[in-house]
Structure 1
Amino acid sequence: MKTVIYPGSFDPPTNGHLDIIQRAARVFDKVIVAVLNNPEKNPMFTVAERRKMLEMITKEYANVEIDDFNGLLVDYVREKQVSIVIKGLRAISDFENEMQMALTNRKLAPDIETIFMMTNHKCSFLSSSVVKEVVAFDGCIEGLVPEQIQDYIIEKRNSQRK
């Protein structure tokens, strides 16, 4: 059984993230979507909230599991006894950063492979940062994030304003 780990911050999950999850779920027997708990970042959503949103948008996929991790990705991948990481790419600028990370991971763990998957061209402009900026200025996030979590994101923004 081929299992892949799709790591990321997912703060919040976007339609681009969902595109990669859906396509990976068709290619691999199991997809573990792993939310990184990065204390260096100032996330809009807690790890628990990000997990909840990911569970909401992937509940129809029996072969998708949501998890979270701290520390090095290679340590988490080994802990899960998986040897493949999948990363989504939107543009050439993503490739440069992701290639550097993949090569670093290969240096740390030569037995772990990184596979790059291009996101759907309709999502190529999309990032969690863009979504957070749009929602911060009361813009419409329809079409940017899965419908199931739009209200959740807006409620979070509203609660942060109080």
Structure 2
Amino acid sequence: MSRRAVYTGSFDPISLGHLNVIERSSRLVDDLVVGVGHNIDKQSLFTAQERVDLIKLATQHLPNVEVKMFSGLAVRFVRECGSRVIVRGVRSLGDIEAEFTMTLANRQLDPDIETVFLMADDQYSHVSSSLIKQIASLAGDEELARFVPRVIIPHLRAKIG
């Protein structure tokens, strides 16, 4: 039986912090599904399909990573993927509080699904998609490359204008 985990998020856009969690998670399991969802609390810069495509570009060096779009409950998506493990990346104590609440809700929805937390590497603990959106129009490519995979910079530039 293969070990499959699912890393869900909005990834708008994918950051180096996200990529770090994907790379590290992919070493822990046989198959990792990156689930691109819609966060109703956030205004998206990229469409869901664009986010899927950008993550595929950024993860093409990882043969055991698959990227899929989903809507609805993450626990349902995890089950549909044939998994019982959700991977979540956390950057700070503030993230832990929100993730703890979501984990408790997910346990109520499906008690057989486990959530595994990976702490962001320290150089990514401040990186968020919101920050990237704020600085993208002001930063040069070398500066942006400290926050996002280089391969997505042209796409980010095209979207920001």
Interval containing the TM-score (normalised by the shorter chain): over 0.9
Amino acid at match of 2:23: Q
Is the 8 Å Cα contact of residues 4 and 82 (structure 2) preserved in structure 1?
Answer: no
Could you tell me how far 1:40 is from its partner in structure 2?
A: 4.9
C-alpha RMSD over aligned residues: 1.0
Report SS of the residue matched to 1:45: coil
The Cα offsets for residues 102-136 of structure 1, whole Å up to 9 and x where unpaired, read as 11000110000000000110000000000000014
Corresponding position: 1:148 with 2:146: no
Counterparts of residues 50-129 of structure 1 (less than 5 Å) = 50-129=51-130
Give 3-state SS (helix, strand or coil) of 2:136's partner. Answer: helix
Map of 1:130 onto structure 2: 131
Q: What stretches of structure 1 of length at least 5 have no aligned partner?
A: none
Task: Provide the secondary structure at the position in 2 that maps to 1:88.
Answer: strand
In 2: Cα distance, 1:142 partner to 1:115 partner? 28
**Paired AA for residue 16 in structure 1:** G
Query: Does the CA-based 8 Å contact 1:38-1:70 persist in structure 2?
Result: no
Alignment deviations for residues 8-67 of structure 1 (CA, whole Å, 9 cap, x no partner)? 000000000000000001111111000002455320000011011100010111100000
Aligned residues: 157
Q: CA deviation at 1:142?
A: 2.2
Structure 2: gaps of 5 or more residues? none
Which one-letter code corresponds to 2:63 in the other structure? Answer: A
- What SS does the aligned partner of 1:85 have? strand
Shift in alpha-carbon separation, 1:12–1:80, aligned structure 2, 3 A: same
Which amino acid counterpart does residue 149 of structure 2 have in structure 1?
Answer: P
| Greater displacement, 120-129 / 71-80 | 71-80
1:157 maps to amino acid: I
Q: In 2, Cα distance between the equivalents of 1:36 and 1:157?
A: 21
TM-score (norm 2): 0.94
Q: Deviations over 1:60-97 (max 9, x none)?
A: 11100000100111111112221000000101100000
Distance 2:45 2:152 in 1: 14
TM-score, structure 1 as length reference: 0.94
Label 1:90 to 1:39 Cα distance change in 2 as closer, same or farther (>3 A).
closer
**Over 6 Å off, 4+ runs:** none
- Equivalent AA in structure 1 for residue 114 of structure 2: E
